[in-house]
Structures are given as C-alpha cells and as structure tokens.
A = this chain, B = another copy of it.
Amino acid sequence: MTWTLYSGWRAGAAYRVRIGLKLKGCAYDYAALDLVAGDQRQAAYRAVNPQGLVPALDLGDGTILAQSLAILEWLEETVPEPPLLPRTPLERAMVRRIAGIIACDIHPANNTRIGAKLRKLGVPDDVIATDWIQGWIRDGFDALEPLIARYAGRFAFGDQPTIADCCLIPQVYSAHRFGLDVTPYPAIVGVAERANQHPAFIAAHPNQQPDAVPA
C-alpha cells in the first residue's frame, strides 16, 4: 500500500517526519497543502486530520497517523532499521528530551496559527518576528546547546541520526528563516551542517519539496 504524507514545504513538524521517512528508506506520495492560504483548515483536509494541522500520514488502508512525534515513534517500532533511538532507556530519554524541548517548548509557540492570533491581538509584525519568534528559539537553543555539546558526535546524540535530529534540523532551518543569530550555538550549528550533507536530510529539506516556492 502507498503511504501519503500531508505536508507543507516549510512546516517544521512535517519536515521532521520527512526526515524520519527518508532515514528509514520509506517511499511515500507527497500531498502538498498551502498553509499560508489555509488549505489545512478546509473540509477536505479536516476529513483527513480534524485538527487541521500537518503532518498526517495516510497508510493507504484507511489508517491516518498524526502528530509528528507519534508518527516517528510508530515508524521506529514498525521499521526498526536503521534505529532512530539509541539502545538504553537513559540514552533514549535524552534523545526524547532533546526532541521534547523542540517539539513541546520551542516550535509550538512559533507556528502559523499562533502568529496569526498575535497579529489579531494587535502585536506588530516586527515584534512577532524578533521578540516572540526569535526569543522562543533563543530560549530553547540556550537550553539545547549544552546538551548537544555534551552528547553530540556527528549527530545530535552520538554518531547516528536519531529522532533528536529529526526535530533539531527543522528548528535550525526555522531559526535561519526568522533571522536568528546562531553564532552563540556552535554545537547546534555543527550538527546541522553535518546533517545537511546526509542524503536523507537533503531529500527532506524544504527546498527539495514539490511545493517549494523559490526565494
């Protein structure tokens, strides 16, 4: 059966799942949603994922998966090779901690619907871009940098890509997109530079998606 990933080229949570799928060597069809135009809130997509958020992964048999971390954990359980989690529970807890800092503390404050609500409340665009978006990424990276510096090898945890990298690399992409100065985060930047030379990360990159809009 053919899998279909509902995605938007720059949507951070969908980018995470693309990396996981590419690392596992799983083929999928790509269903693009225009998140700026609001495709994700239309009835057609609500029938796939009532939450109106990407990603969703349609397994082709009527089963829909949603929530990026849940999809990545499911992928790890059903397609074990190559592993995206280390072997010991403590190591796995550290990888999931890194993923959690990004997926629960940095990214949610900065997604499209939060920005739209802030604008509705009268917060100026430049304040949203700097004080809000850059601020939350900076807060999170301040916490991540010492963890990555301590645990990274070639990747965020050791020398193999893990779920931590599936979350970290899209967040670094977002940091660049929103103009954050990342020089205070050499460990994070180093991991991102190495990851971005890996074929799976290259294939999952926003610019490589069919719905990418040229700069």
Whether A138 is near chain B, meaning CB under 8 Å from some CB there, is no
* B135:A117 contact, CB within 8 angstroms: yes
A127 touching B121 in the complex, CB below 8 Å, given contacts A67-B97, A70-B97, A99-B70: yes
Interface pair B117/A132, CB less than 8 Å apart: yes
Asked if A199 lies at the interface with its beta carbon under 8 angstroms from chain B, I say no
**Cα distance A146–B143 when bound, in Å?**
36
* Interface range on chain A (Cβ under 8 Å from partner): 35 or more
Interface centre among A52, A68, A93, A146 (most CB of B within 10 A): A93
Distance A97 CA – B34 CA, assembled complex (angstroms): 23
Chain B CB within 8 A of A35 CB: no
Contact among B69, B121, B122 with A96 in the assembled complex (CB-CB below 8 Å) = B69
Instruction: Indicate which residue in B50, B68, B109 contacts A108 across the interface (CB closer than 8 Å).
Output: B109
**Nearest CB of B to A82, in Å:** 17
Contact A100 B63 (CB under 8 A): no
The docked-state distance in angstroms from the alpha carbon of A96 to that of B71 is 9
Count of identical protomers in the assembly: 2
Tell which of B71, B109, B146 touches A109, judged by Cβ atoms closer than 8 Å.
B109
Q: Beyond A108-B108, A135-B117, is A74–B99 a contact (Cβ under 8 Å)?
A: no
Complex CA–CA separation, A135 to B127 (angstroms):
22
Closest chain-B Cβ to A129's Cβ sits at a distance in Å of 13
Chain B nearest CB: distance from A212 CB in Å? 25
Beta-carbon nearest neighbor of A71 in chain B? B93
Asked whether B104 lies within 8 Å of A109 as measured between CB atoms, the reply is: no
Q: CB within 8 Å of B: which of A40-79?
A: 50-53, 63, 65-71, 73-74, 77-78
Q: Give 9 A-B pairs besides A52-B143, A104-B108 with Cβ atoms closer than 8 angstroms.
A: A65-B93, A66-B100, A67-B100, A73-B92, A77-B92, A105-B108, A121-B127, A121-B131, A123-B123
